Amino acid sequence: MSQKVTVFGLHAVKAILKNHPDRLVELYVSKERQDESVKEIVNECYTAGIRPQWVPKQALEKRAEGGNHQGVVATVHSPPTLTEHDLAQLLDGSEAPAIFLVLDGVTDPHNLGACLRTADAAGVTGVIVPKDKSAQITPTVRKVASGAAEQVPLVVVTNLARTLRDLQEKGVWVYGTAGEATQSLYDIDYRGPVALVMGAEGKGMRRMTRETCDELVSIPLSGSVSSLNVSVASGVCLFEVVRQRSGA
């Protein structure tokens, strides 16, 4: 039986109703909100066969554990957790050459949520994170992801370096991002299956992860900052892949 989780925020709840209405268990709506955005969600909830419950704002804040719920909190059946054993199926099911975003030790849930949102926009095959020392899916991640957490396959692996080697054996080229790398992000051909590895906030990639990569690349920076936020860097890298594949 699947686990029940909390989803809050207008975009996150809308994504559930649009893409996975069968997973909705309960919807709680603030009595203090009667605007069109909330009414639209309520109507879709009735269409899904669920009767929403109107509750005081304080009750929603308790369910959302202080998060910015925007007047709606849902209880949903969580999707099954994907592991390294599911990567072959993701590869086989990808119509275009695969793109994996690999997050090595990203522990901030806001960064994970933002990376999932960026990954969804770029059409990634899946986001890969290690089981330990990494943020996992939480209500905050779902809120920040604005629905992308319901769309992008998140693969939680036991051993990241081993997983990268398995991908390499399947024809995926693994590129790690590192500020000190001499090769520019823009000098690489990404039109084949690729995995882009982003390091943890402040620390970068772990040694074993770095040594497993086929090549290291850097994002050229012109200003005074020495690095970018991991979700911003992910967007820069992913959309270079998208640009090349679109022929732009």
- Return the number of other C-beta atoms located less than 10 Å from residue 244's C-beta: 14
What is the spatial distance between Cα 198 and Cα 186, in angstroms, rounded to a whole number?
16
Under the phi-then-psi rule, with left for phi > 0, alpha for psi from -120 to 50, and beta for the rest, what region is 213? beta
**Residue 202 exposure: Cα atoms within 13 Å on the Cβ side:** 2
**pLDDT for 1:** 45
Q: How far apart, in Å, are the Cα atoms of 60 and each of 31, 37, 38, 114, 210?
A: 10, 17, 14, 24, 43
Query: Among positive and negative, which fits the CA dihedral 76, 79, 80, 84?
Result: negative
Question: Are the CB atoms for 75 and 6 separated by under 8 Å?
Answer: yes
- Return the number of other C-beta atoms located less than 10 Å from residue 18's C-beta: 12
**This model's pTM is above 0.75:** yes
Tokens (6 digits) for 117: 């949102």
Domains and CATH numbers, the chain: 4-77 (3.30.1330.30), 84-246 (3.40.1280.10)
37-60 pLDDT tens trace: 888 999 988 888 889 999 988 888
For the chain (248 residues), the mean pLDDT of every run of 10, in chain order, is 78 86 89 86 88 89 82 85 93 92 94 95 96 88 84 94 97 94 94 95 88 95 81 96 88
Bridge partners (DSSP) of residue 29 are: 54, 72
